[in-house]
Amino acid sequence: MIKDLVKDDEKVIRVLKGCWNEASRQDMYDDLLAGMYPPLSDWWWNTHEKAPCYIQGNEVYCFSYAIVGEMFLLGTLEELEEEIKTREEEKLTYWGLERIHFLNQHRYGEAFKLLKEGDLWTSCKRVEREALKRESELLAIREQHFANLKDSDFEAYSNELEMAKHEVNKQIHEELIYV
């Protein structure tokens, strides 16, 4: 199922009960019970839109807050999956968030300049990509020294790996984040 859609009948019912349908002169939940909408089993809570949605065939219809009581076609299931994938790719992960945090705390002028020019996200995303690449390279090099422990003494291997990750984390902060 699509990541944004969760089964939460309580939220769906709360919103539908609070919306009056002028045409039927009753709230939308009563309309649902009367068969004017799909059954409650087809309804989902959209965590991104923060609204109830229902799935009909391959299409997802979402409750509109702009025109209260109206339902609009949000898209097909495939379109929504693609949108979610795009949103996930655009999010900053650990290293990008570390960079933006450092800029905001210690290089506010630089952060403001990047923000004003519209390059703050791009700059942090670039650092994030470099950090991820560097992290995998450094871990691979360090892991070669204790890889033989993996099969014989897994606890020692795990300890060595954790220490290596900590050292790599520190090195990346010094090389890419705190510059």
For the four alpha carbons of 93, 98, 104 and 110, in that order, the dihedral sign comes to: negative
Region 32-55: what's the mean pLDDT?
A: 91
> Which residues contact residue 102 at a Cβ distance below 8 angstroms, ignoring those fewer than 6 apart?
177, 178
Q: For residues 83 and 75, give the distance between their C-alpha atoms in angstroms, rounded to a whole number.
A: 10
Q: Is the pTM of this model over 0.85?
A: no
Q: Could you tell me the pLDDT band of residue 128, with boundaries at 50, 70 and 90? A: very high
Closest CA to 171 of 134, 140, 143, 145: 134
Give me the residue spans of the domains in the chain.
5-88, 92-177
The first and second tokens of residue 85, run together, are 């994938």
